[in-house]
A and B are shown apart, each in its own frame.
Chain A
Amino acid sequence: MKPSVLSVALAAIAMSCASSTASRAAWEPVRPVEFIVPAGTGGGADQMARTIQGIVTKHNLMKQPMVVINKAGGAGGEGFLDVKTSSGNPHKIIITLSNLFTTPLATGIPFNWKDLTPVAMLALDEFVLWVNAEKPYNSVKDYVDAAKKAPSGSFKMGGTGSKQEDQIITVGIEKAIDAKFTYIPYKGGGEVAVQLVGNHVDSTVNNPIEAVAQWRGGKLRPLCVFDAQPMAYDEPIADGKAWKDIPTCKSQGLAMEYLMLRGIFMSPKATKDQIEYYVELFKKVRATPEWQDFMKSGAFNTTFLAGPDYAKWIEAEEKRHEGLMKEAGFLASAN
């Protein structure tokens, strides 16, 4: 972190000279922008934040440097509280995942997304049902039959974190097919995929980017995607199959849909100019070829939302999470 701190300091000195001459017409950052990641290094949110940082730097999209800082403590609570308490500081933005909803609901930390200023939705992350390629489950039907036949609780589902998206999906599947799984939480998506390769769990709901290496290596098999329509990418990945060839779970009789927000928020009390600046910045980021490559490598759903549409979407999603988590008994007060 030291070089970044140093560069922050140097840039701050440089800009304190320049800022006096900046025009007041439209807002622009006058200090380095802190880009908070409420998750550990190497995870999906972190990879995306670092990709954005690289794009912004390479294409000179911002006059100020962008500094990525991980604040993963308390399932991301550390990061959210940090931005919440930086009221009126427009030089702090945060990338969110589903823990925007799940962490305050599950841990009861004093935080709600309304404490922050919504900026834009960058993409939605897909979830895929994976099994070990050695197992005889070639379709969702084989899988569901096997899960139902197994003694209650002996079928093991591996996932990232506790009472977060992976476990919510697991509970959804249990409800949809009327079976009981044992959910085993691990620290990160990569580890989950490795445990599935080693046959220590029976299935996972890894994001595409977490498991694609193992799929390519012939170790894992995707069964279905938890989205309303198949993914858009038709380039073959393994065995001549592309992301597009993975059917939706719903079409296979497994009625569960889930997508994870990859969105940007900023500190409370941001002005309209400031929000506008970041929305424009991320529009520019999305137009670069690097971003499109990144979207392809992770088979992301590239929906973009900003302004009132974005806020409306979050509100609906918050309600949905509250419902899902209440049903599953994951709310802090219920414990």
Chain B
Amino acid sequence: MEELANLFHGFAVALQPYNIMLMIIGITLGVIIGVLPGLGGANGVAILLPLTFSMPPTSAIIMLSCIYWGALFGGAITSILFNIPGEPWSVATTFDGYPMAQQGRPGEALTAAFTSSFVGALFAVIMITLVAPLVAGFALRFGPAEKFAVYFLAFCSFVGLSKEPPFKTIAAMMMGFALAAVGLDSITGQLRLTFGITELLNGFDFLIAVIGLFGIGEILLTMEEGLAFRGGNAKINLRVVLHTWRELPAYWMTSLRSCLIGCWMGVTPAGATPASFMSYGIAKRLARRGNNFGKGEIEGVIAPETAAHAAGTAALLPMLSLGVPGSPTAAVLLGGLLIWGLQPGPMLFVEQKEFVWGLIASMYLGNLAGLIVVLTCVPIFAAILRVPFGIIAPLILVLCAIGAYSVHNSTFDVMLMLVFGVLGYLLKKCNYPLAPLVLAIVLGDKAEEAFRQSLLGSQGSLGVFFSNGLVSTIMALGLVALFWSAIQEGYSRLRTSMA
């Protein structure tokens, strides 16, 4: 019951006029960011993060997380109307959403996408409300060894679950580790890989890397492809919405399954992109009209959108209670928490009750506000895409440069951002995934630190990672995730030989 009282107190915090205003601004900005190709939620949050440093932390995180949800909503708009996924996790939405739009059913597709997003997020928030207090009490058991185990699981799940070949994932991740090693070694207090360059004392800031890799890299790609936006007529009126809503309950099974996949993928820090693909794949295999998938099936929109939004929301739970981000955007938000002096992790739920429950309450309200905003404003947002790329691209570029500069007020960082942009472009051309690289930059030095702290404590014995039930379980899960595809293959081979 104490949790419910906390939640209602949280509603009171989130419903302050100032916070409601930030919520609506955040959703609107987020949708714009989601609509613009090349400017993802992670970039949007990264660029806007410094703007919030002067706000109280609760208000700042409410605004940033609303940008996050807005981006999740917004990504679907361009995917459906123009076949341009504004976000990586809305790639799967294009498979059936775009054919629907071409068949003259854009209203239905958009309504289905937005409503599914809302359902997925709501499911995940309810899960967070019920589970978070449990996680918080249990989190004090996390010493260095347990922390390392969680990081280990995060890295392994990227290797085991992503669609790219595992060796490319590992290569990208190793590059991230190398970049994370630059700067002060916090265990020995020595400088590493700085080559006497003062600017490198601080290491590579992941914000700069993210802005460069995603933002600049995407613009370079778009320029190469000579992409022209073809405007679509995205008129949407209340009748289509109601008509589609009447249809949706028939697909409850798909929704529920996608919610579960999303929550699972969000909590193990795999994120929204694999969740959306996995959910689409399973729906295709299990749905009655599965063979029609790819030709404009509404279920093919519901499945990835529900899972992506559930995962995106659930990703905030490990970030808050364990200090481990479940998605690139959550990783950026984690950086924000540290900047505001909030220590994400075990004590956040104990020491910062108002902050945590204000945030959870804002998840309920933010998503509701988001649904209303996107359903009413779709024609306006779609109009952005009629602006020629030649005008939009420089604007994005300037935004990225400002974002990179304001992290440390340093022009060196702007240069660094451009270098990362070229790197991002090259990696994408060679089909190397960027997410593991960013994950390694963000978590690399933390994982190293936890690993070495554990070994210091155990006087060099690796047994510390299997010294109690908790740490052994997480390590085992990590190993399973790492060898998942091999295990799956072995299992199916075993079945065929048995039959």
Contact of A41 among B338, B345, B402, B409 (CB under 8 A): B338
Q: By the criterion CB–CB under 8 Å, are A73 and B201 in contact? A: yes
Contact of A1 among B50, B187, B343, B456 (CB under 8 A): B50
Contact of B202 among A78, A183, A191 (CB under 8 A): A78
Contact of A161 among B189, B203, B343, B351 (CB under 8 A): B189
List, in ascending order, chain B residues with CB within 8 A of A1's CB.
50, 53, 406-409
Q: By the criterion CB–CB under 8 Å, are B459 and A153 in contact? A: yes
Contact of A2 among B51, B142, B457 (CB under 8 A): B51
Closest B residue by C-beta to A34 = B409
C-alpha gap A273/B5 in the complex (Å): 58
A135-192 contacts to B, CB under 8 A, are 153-154, 156, 161-164, 182-188, 190-191
Q: By the criterion CB–CB under 8 Å, are B186 and A154 in contact? A: no
Contact of A106 among B143, B189, B351 (CB under 8 A): B189
Q: By the criterion CB–CB under 8 Å, are A191 and B343 in contact? A: yes
Q: A94 an interface residue at 8 Å Cβ cutoff?
A: no
Task: Please judge, given known A-B contacts A3-B51, A3-B54, A162-B189, whether A78 and B339 are in contact too, CB under 8 Å.
Answer: no
Size of interface on A: residues with Cβ below 8 Å to B: 47
Q: B190 an interface residue at 8 Å Cβ cutoff?
A: yes
Q: A260 an interface residue at 8 Å Cβ cutoff?
A: no
Q: By the criterion CB–CB under 8 Å, are B351 and A213 in contact? A: yes
B182-227 contacts to A, CB under 8 A, are 183-191, 194, 198, 201-203
Q: By the criterion CB–CB under 8 Å, are B189 and A198 in contact? A: no
Q: By the criterion CB–CB under 8 Å, are B187 and A185 in contact? A: yes
Q: By the criterion CB–CB under 8 Å, are B406 and A5 in contact? A: yes
List, in ascending order, chain B residues with CB within 8 A of A247's CB.
none
Q: A77 an interface residue at 8 Å Cβ cutoff?
A: yes
Task: Please judge, given known A-B contacts A106-B189, A163-B189, whether A184 and B201 are in contact too, CB under 8 Å.
Answer: no
List, in ascending order, chain A residues with CB within 8 A of B203's CB.
73
Nearest CB of chain B from residue A231's CB, rounded to whole Å: 24
Nearest CB of chain B from residue A41's CB, rounded to whole Å: 5
Nearest CB of chain A from residue B420's CB, rounded to whole Å: 18
Closest A residue by C-beta to B341 = A42
List, in ascending order, chain A residues with CB within 8 A of B143's CB.
195, 198, 200
Contact of B457 among A106, A191, A197, A200 (CB under 8 A): A200
Q: By the criterion CB–CB under 8 Å, are B453 and A185 in contact? A: yes
C-alpha gap A140/B53 in the complex (Å): 43
Q: By the criterion CB–CB under 8 Å, are B140 and A198 in contact? A: yes
Q: By the criterion CB–CB under 8 Å, are B453 and A187 in contact? A: no
C-alpha gap A1/B336 in the complex (Å): 12
Nearest CB of chain B from residue A28's CB, rounded to whole Å: 24
Nearest CB of chain A from residue B55's CB, rounded to whole Å: 9
Nearest CB of chain A from residue B52's CB, rounded to whole Å: 9
C-alpha gap A41/B456 in the complex (Å): 27
C-alpha gap A5/B50 in the complex (Å): 11
Q: By the criterion CB–CB under 8 Å, are A184 and B453 in contact? A: yes
Closest A residue by C-beta to B185 = A162
List, in ascending order, chain A residues with CB within 8 A of B351's CB.
213
Nearest CB of chain B from residue A220's CB, rounded to whole Å: 13
Q: By the criterion CB–CB under 8 Å, are B343 and A190 in contact? A: yes
Q: B285 an interface residue at 8 Å Cβ cutoff?
A: no
Q: By the criterion CB–CB under 8 Å, are B341 and A74 in contact? A: no
Q: By the criterion CB–CB under 8 Å, are A107 and B184 in contact? A: yes
Q: B10 an interface residue at 8 Å Cβ cutoff?
A: no
Nearest CB of chain A from residue B205's CB, rounded to whole Å: 9
List, in ascending order, chain B residues with CB within 8 A of A187's CB.
186, 449
- Among A163, A198, A335, the one with the most B-chain Cβ atoms within 10 Å of its Cβ is A198
C-alpha gap A335/B188 in the complex (Å): 10
List, in ascending order, chain B residues with CB within 8 A of A4's CB.
53-54
A-B contact pairs, 18 of them (CB 8 A): A1-B408, A1-B409, A2-B50, A2-B402, A3-B54, A5-B406, A41-B339, A46-B341, A74-B194, A81-B198, A107-B184, A107-B191, A153-B459, A182-B459, A188-B343, A191-B343, A198-B143, A200-B144
Given contacts A3-B51, A42-B338, A77-B198, 10 further A-B contacts (CB under 8 A): A2-B51, A2-B402, A41-B340, A71-B408, A78-B201, A162-B185, A163-B189, A194-B343, A194-B346, A198-B143
Counting from the closest, the 3 A-B pairs by CB-CB distance are A42-B341, A73-B202, A74-B201
